[in-house]
Chain A
Amino acid sequence: MLVPYLIVGAILFTLGVIGFMTRKNLIIIFLCTELMFQGIVVTLVALGRYPVAGMPTLDGQVFALFLLAVAASEAALALALVILLYRHKPTLDANAWKLLKEE
């Protein structure tokens, strides 16, 4: 029962990577990082519950909890950056910021 959970986690992670590479909206790009976090949470919990070698541990769940803290920090800082960028130029287009300098 480990492999199906790993597959679902890998699919979620991959979809997050694809969205991160292909979308142009800044908010959707950050949403795709959250999608990658979801895949990793599924993978961590599955590896804790159905370990490849050895007894099941709770380390997977504990790491996933720390990952939630990191995800919350990342969301807060990323959205603050988006608001800051939006005050410079009123658009969410990532291509508007491709030069990374003030013209």
Chain B
Amino acid sequence: MNRKKIEQLKKNYLETPIPGELDFVVKKTLKESGLNMSKHHNRFMGLKVAAASLVASLALLVIGVNTSLVFAQTMRKVPLVSSIVEVLTFREYTIDEGTFNANLKVPAISGLENKDLENSLNEEYLKENEKLYAQFQAEMEDMKEKGGGHLGVDSGFIVKADNDRILSIGRYVVNTVGSSSTTFKYDTIDKKKEVLLTLPSLFKGDSYVDIISENIKSQMLEQNQADENKIYWVQGIGEEGFVELFEKISSEQNFYINPDNKLVISFDKYEVAPGYMGVVDFVIPTEVIADVLVGNEYIK
């Protein structure tokens, strides 16, 4: 009888649900510790962080329950008429089948004269969400065959700035079950000139990479000094030796412009800090970059 009790407790313990992201986290951590274990995984590891997290966020979370869920094959495709801002409307895809939930919101830009820009952005948004949807479907079918489980994905967008001149849109993907692996991608459009702003297009030459990187590094250290729980992988915080430290931003680093007309540099979860720090953003003081800005049309 007592032996049974321990066995039962052990069984419960061994049934702790394992999040699909675990494998990704372990391998990524090994890679950051300078170890590339398996040649077979190189292809996967070589992908951009965002893409890899996306796959991981859709991975299985199999748990040991067996409920009699009826999985109706219903997918709603709801075109919504109302627009959020003048240049933004969206479509929504939802799946709501008990433990399987997907809520994909597709932003669509309308009202631009430059149809090439408008169409290429919209196509990209749609393609990304169709891919998410297809992956979700595949995972869901797989789990149903195995008797059920939990799976959730949300995608959507946030308007970071919308004024006379600028529209900054952040698109995100969040896994709602398992670990919250949020990834962001930003697009900033000049509404007057009707062009998509890239980071290099804002600056004279490429010295901005170093100037911004140095500023971010000092912000990281300042934050850490103010609160020791704020850890970044940067020289000076004692994380040296086993992680790849943040050196500099990519010339095409994720960015947006906030409503105060400040440049904000954004990093995905795990990009420059441990997972618990989540997505991290740094507002770059304008005086730091004033000398290398092309003009002060967007950033003030």
A and B together in one complex: no
B: residues with CB less than 8 A from A are none
The residues of A with any CB-CB pair to B shorter than 8 Å are none
